[in-house]
């Protein structure tokens, strides 16, 4: 793949590029907790964006999306959101400018094997590949956390999704064979090696993405913020739902509008569950960890209401086939479920999914058995 990209790049731009790679991510547990300052447990995976890039000493950025066979050019002096993939690249350049770093023009080509719309953070990987590469090419000297924030802001300001920082953080800080326990309040993390013994992580892709997913995502975030705002009036130390426990939330049940109260109750529980689940995983208690995954799904489906019929069916099939743990993953309304499954159950589970899911929805699902890999890096001697 890289050789093909290199050939196209050199023919089109008549120079030799540098090569970077930024992965997508899975998240074991801790969903919708990142923008509430809670905990998440993601890891970078062996699916990534490959980016070849070189400076061009003009104001113009020329970027080829090889998978779509499209090229977009824009000036660093005229950055506006657009409705295509290039909005993430423009958003990243804009983010550098906001920090007083002034990228000039570049030529680039990228390709990705992260399925789009599957909840594996293909857009965060794209933004992170450019953020990392631009920082290297122009020697801006920003650290990975600053780059994660630039990529997150690109999503906010140029794609209109008020996401948390989990996806960008995982793409930048991922570590081979380790999960990242990220505290989204302090923005510090701890790695721990994941030893799944006789189990594996299998993603089941529903192959659906319901429209209005980003509107619903922003609405969930606004509901959480509304609850915080109300509690804050008597408790100025409360800055996010991370500072709220079940008892405090309950005492505001009459004051917080019902929908925001319901959403917040899921988040407060999920933040607690993620901490417990991380400890269970560290102790290698896969059975108890799996039970937490099912609880998370139940909450995401019934209380936070970000699941959909397709994801619920995938989790039901997992339950019936004694999968150790399963849940929808990521923002929701489509994409993948993540399944913690004993190796000897994989084939039977896949067969059951193929049959039941296809019959029910007339859509063929896909499976990805993912490995945990390093975060963004340059591929030297590509």
Residue 167 interacts with ligand GAF (CB under 6 A)?
A: yes
Catalytic residue among 34, 37, 107, 167: 167
How many chain residues interact with ligand GAF (CB under 6 A)?
10
Site for ligand GAF in 305-344 (CB under 6 A): 330-331
* Residue 178 or 274 with smaller CB distance to ligand GAF: 274
Query: By rule CB under 6 A, what string of x and - marks binding of each residue 17-36 to ligand GAF?
Result: --------------xx-xx-
Considering only 29, 163, 184, 286, the residue that binds ligand GAF (CB under 6 A) is 163
CB of 163 to ligand GAF, least distance (A): 3
Contact status: 44 vs ligand GAF (CB under 6 A): no
Instruction: Tell me if 169 contacts ligand GAF by CB under 6 A.
Output: no
Shortest distance in whole angstroms from residue 121 CB to ligand GAF: 6
Based on CB atoms, which residue is closest to ligand GAF, 5 or 314?
314
User: Would you tell me how many other CB atoms lie within 10 Å of the CB of residue 246?
Assistant: 11
CB burial of 326-356 (b: ≥16 within 10 Å; e: otherwise) equals bbbbbbbbbbbbbbbbbeebbeebbebbeeb
Smallest gap from residue 164 Cβ to ligand GAF (A):
3
Of residues 263 and 345, the one with the C-beta less far from ligand GAF: 263
Pick 20 or 35: Cβ nearer ligand GAF: 35
CA 309 to chain centre: 21
Whether residue 20 contacts residue 5, with contact meaning beta carbons closer than 8 Å, is answered with: no
Nearest-approach distance from CB 253 to ligand GAF, in angstroms: 25
Helix (H) or strand (E) holding 200: strand 199-209
Question: Is 167 one of the annotated active-site residues of the chain?
Answer: yes
The residue whose two tokens read 């990534």 is 48
DSSP 44-104: EEEEEEEEEEEE-SSSEEEEEETTTTEEEEEETT-----SSTHHHHHHHHHHHHHTT----
Instruction: In angstroms, give the least distance from the CB of 347 to ligand GAF.
Output: 29
What minimum distance in Å lies between the beta carbon of 332 and ligand GAF? 7
Pick between residue 204 and residue 224 the one whose CB is nearest to ligand GAF: 224
Long-range pairs of 294-302 with CB within 8 A, sequence gap ≥ 24: 294/319, 294/325, 294/326, 294/327, 296/29, 296/31, 296/270, 296/327, 297/326, 297/327, 297/328, 297/337, 299/266, 299/269, 299/270, 300/31, 300/32, 300/266, 300/327, 300/328, 300/332, 301/328
Query: Which residues are designated catalytic?
Result: 167
Site residues (vs ligand GAF, CB under 6 A): 31-32, 34-35, 163-164, 166-167, 330-331
């Amino acid at each position: 793949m890289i050789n093909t990209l290199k050939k196209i790049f050199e023919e089109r731009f008549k120079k030799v590029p540098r090569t970077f790679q930024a992965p997508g991510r899975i998240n074991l547990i801790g969903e919708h907790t990142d923008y509430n300052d809670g905990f998440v447990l993601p890891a970078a995976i062996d699916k990534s964006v490959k980016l070849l890039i070189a400076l061009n000493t003009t104001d113009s950025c020329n970027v080829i999306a090889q998978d779509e066979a499209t090229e977009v050019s824009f000036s660093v002096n005229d950055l506006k959101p657009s409705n295509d993939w290039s909005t993430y690249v423009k958003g990243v350049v804009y983010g550098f400018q906001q920090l007083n770093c002034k990228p000039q023009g570049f030529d680039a080509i990228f390709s990705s094997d992260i399925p789009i719309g599957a909840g594996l953070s293909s857009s965060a990987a794209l933004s992170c590949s450019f953020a990392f590469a631009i920082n290297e090419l122009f020697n801006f000297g920003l650290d990975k956390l600053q780059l994660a924030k630039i990529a997150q802001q690109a999503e906010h300001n140029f794609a209109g999704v008020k996401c948390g920082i989990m996806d960008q953080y995982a793409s930048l800080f991922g570590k081979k064979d380790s999960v990242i326990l990220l505290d989204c309040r302090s923005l510090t993390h701890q790695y721990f090696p994941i030893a799944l013994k006789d189990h594996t992580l299998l993603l089941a892709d529903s192959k659906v993405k319901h429209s209005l997913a980003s509107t619903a995502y922003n609405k969930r975030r606004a509901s959480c913020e509304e609850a915080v705002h109300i509690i804050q009036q008597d408790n100025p130390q409360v800055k996010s739902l991370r500072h709220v426990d079940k008892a405090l939330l309950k005492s505001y049940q009459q004051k917080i509008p019902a929908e925001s109260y319901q959403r917040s109750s899921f988040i407060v529980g999920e933040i607690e569950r993620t901490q417990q689940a991380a400890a269970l995983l560290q102790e290698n208690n896969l059975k108890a960890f799996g039970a937490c995954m099912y609880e998370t799904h139940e909450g995401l489906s019934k209380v936070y209401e970000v699941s959909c019929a397709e994801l619920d069916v995938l989790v039901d099939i997992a339950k019936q086939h004694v999968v150790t743990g399963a849940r929808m993953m990521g923002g929701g309304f489509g994409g993948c479920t993540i399944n913690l499954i004993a190796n000897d159950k994989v084939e039977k589970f896949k067969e059951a999914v193929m049959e039941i899911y296809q019959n029910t929805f007339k859509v063929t699902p896909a499976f990805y058995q993912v490995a945990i890999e390093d975060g963004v890096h340059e591929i030297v001697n590509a």
